[in-house]
């Protein structure tokens, strides 16, 4: 027999409890929505009022850990329900048999959430020269949403923030700056992040967006400690947090600037060091590859042991001639010890459409080669907890895309890649 606890308004609780008993469902307890925690032992589900006060992160997390189904009742906020991966709420006056039907229904989302990887922060970085950081970050967020992960997109670029403008959201929303201020006060939680974010509706589902600062002069608002605290709360807010950052590290500016003062690019360093994984973008041209190689060694020194996935963007034959991928692969292996590289093709038509309509490429040009490339990247590296680029840092294998190794140990890898095309 299914056992449930009711956390609905008192005016409905008694009648619903009687109706559920008739349907063969045992009501273990009837509590007020504010007194649901701690959960009564031995229950299979909780029928709760679909309000922000009841559907909190603490309650949803406690139910997930205990394997307790949540059945929302009443006119709930669709954004809150979607954020926690809950099914649409039943009517406030739903009868006992309707609740029983919902309890008996098979919800594949429950299985998916229980077997899904832990919540992660992925930082998208690249050297100066616009290699496509923001474009890749947007597409990663969309494709992670498509595979069923609740995803947030954060603009932590203190030099040229662009996500809000690229997505047509405007730059007047509070966004990441407000979140950092709240984090410094200790007042930031998952509900507050939902309030501060903007919802981007995509073909894959909704993506929460924390827009960047609307003027570069506001960079002190994204201080390192503030941003670290914000990203830690993001792990409780979303299953996947994709962060777009600027290119500059300025890791050694303590030697030339006031130690007590804010640092111009501290947000980039804070995000990289707080990340669970880094996607490093290089532009497929001689200048872009040269810049990437120069910066890559410093990136690894500052962020080790965080796993880094190297992605070469805008691959085309024009600036590199015949066998562009082979030339890039051999150059990165010879000069930087990078043996695993992902390639994204150049698709000017898709890029122009995205700029014109201020929408993700996947919504406008779903057959784009670039969209397909990002989708493969997510499928092979970002969607699985065992993938090298997204595994826990301590578990990263020696073949990580940017760790390097002896020349003898590296030699078989390109051969295997060549065989796989």
Q: Which two tokens stand for residue 363?
A: 């919504």
- pLDDT band at residue 99 using 50, 70 and 90 as cut-offs: confident
CA geometry: angle at 396 spanning 392 and 398, to 5°? Answer: 175
Q: Token match 């949403």: residue?
A: 145
Check: pTM over 0.85? Answer yes or no: no
Contact 81, 109 (CB under 8 A): no
> How far are the Cα atoms of 156, 167, 206, 213, 223 from residue 178, in angstroms, in the given order?
12, 20, 21, 9, 12
Task: Assess whether pLDDT exceeds 80 at residue 244.
Answer: yes
- Give the pairing of strands 205-210 and 198-202: antiparallel
Q: Which of 180, 107, 181 is nearest to 148 (CA)?
A: 107
In the block, which residue shows the tokens 């309650």?
59
Q: List the one residue out of 199, 258, 284, 268 whose CA is nearest residue 228.
A: 268
C-alpha distances in angstroms, 155 versus 124, 208, 226, 227? Answer: 10, 11, 14, 11
* pLDDT at residue number 50: 80
What is residue 94's predicted lDDT score, i.e. its pLDDT? 82
pLDDT digits (tens, 9 = 90+) for 345-362: 999 999 999 999 999 999
Bridge pairing between strands 277-283 and 120-125: parallel
Return the pLDDT at 260.
54
Domains parsed from the chain with CATH numbers: 3-115 (3.40.50.2300), 120-419 (3.40.50.300)
pLDDT band of 391, cuts 50, 70, 90: very low
The packing angle between helices 324-336 and 286-303, to 10°, is 40
Residues 74, 50: Cα–Cα separation, whole Å: 5
* Residue whose structure tokens are 């090298």: 388
Rounded distance between C-alpha atoms, residue 215 and residue 55, angstroms: 36
pLDDT band at 310 (very low <50, low <70, confident <90, very high): very high
Residue 179 has phi, psi (to 5 degrees) of -65, -40
pLDDT digits (tens, 9 = 90+) for 35-84: 778 888 888 888 888 877 777 777 877 787 777 888 888 876 666 676 66
172-210 confidence digits (pLDDT tens) = 778 999 999 999 999 999 999 999 999 999 999 999 999
Please indicate whether residue 75 or residue 151 has the higher confidence score (pLDDT).
151
Considering the chain, what percentage of its residues have pLDDT values greater than 70?
82
Q: What tokens were used for 89?
A: 């709420």
């Amino acid at each position: 027999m299914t056992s449930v606890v009711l956390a609905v308004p008192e005016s409905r609780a008694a009648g619903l409890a009687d109706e559920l008993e008739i349907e063969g469902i045992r009501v273990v307890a009837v509590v007020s929505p504010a007194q649901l925690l701690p959960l009564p032992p031995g229950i299979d589900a909780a029928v709760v009022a679909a309000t922000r006060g009841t559907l909190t992160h603490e309650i949803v997390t406690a139910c997930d850990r205990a394997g307790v189904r949540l059945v929302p009742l009443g006119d709930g906020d669709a954004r809150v329900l979607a954020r926690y991966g809950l099914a649409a709420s039943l009517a406030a006056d739903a009868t006992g048999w309707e609740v029983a039907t919902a309890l008996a229904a098979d919800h594949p989302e429950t299985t998916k959430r229980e077997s899904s990887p832990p919540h992660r922060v992925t930082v998208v970085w690249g050297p100066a020269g616009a290699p496509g950081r923001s474009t890749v970050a947007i597409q990663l967020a969309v494709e992670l949403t498509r595979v069923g992960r609740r995803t947030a997109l954060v603009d932590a670029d203190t030099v040229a923030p662009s996500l809000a403008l690229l997505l047509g959201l405007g730059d007047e929303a509070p966004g990441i700056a407000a979140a950092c201020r709240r984090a410094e006060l200790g007042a930031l939680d998952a509900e507050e992040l939902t309030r501060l974010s903007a919802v981007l509706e995509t073909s894959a589902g909704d993506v929460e967006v924390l827009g960047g600062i609307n003027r570069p002069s506001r960079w002190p608002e994204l201080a390192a400690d503030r941003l670290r605290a914000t990203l830690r709360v993001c792990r409780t807010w979303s299953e996947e947090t994709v962060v777009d950052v600027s290119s500059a590290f300025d890791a050694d500016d303590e030697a030339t600037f006031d130690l007590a003062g804010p640092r111009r690019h501290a947000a980039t360093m804070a995000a990289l060091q707080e990340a669970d994984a880094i996607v490093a973008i290089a532009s497929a041209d001689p200048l872009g590859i040269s810049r990437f190689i120069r910066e890559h060694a410093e990136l690894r020194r500052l962020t080790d042991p965080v796993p880094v996935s190297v992605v070469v963007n805008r691959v085309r034959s024009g600036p590199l001639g015949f066998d562009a991928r082979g030339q890039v692969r051999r150059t990165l292996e010879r000069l930087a010890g990078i043996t695993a590289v992902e390639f994204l093709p150049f698709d000017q038509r898709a890029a122009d459409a995205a700029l014109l309509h201020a929408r993700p490429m996947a919504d406008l040009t779903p057959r784009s080669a670039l969209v397909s490339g990002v989708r493969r990247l997510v499928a092979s590296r970002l969607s699985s907890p065992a993938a090298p680029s997204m595994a826990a840092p301590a578990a990263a294998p020696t073949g990580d895309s940017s760790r390097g190794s002896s020349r003898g140990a590296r030699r078989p890898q390109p051969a295997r890649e060549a065989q796989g095309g």
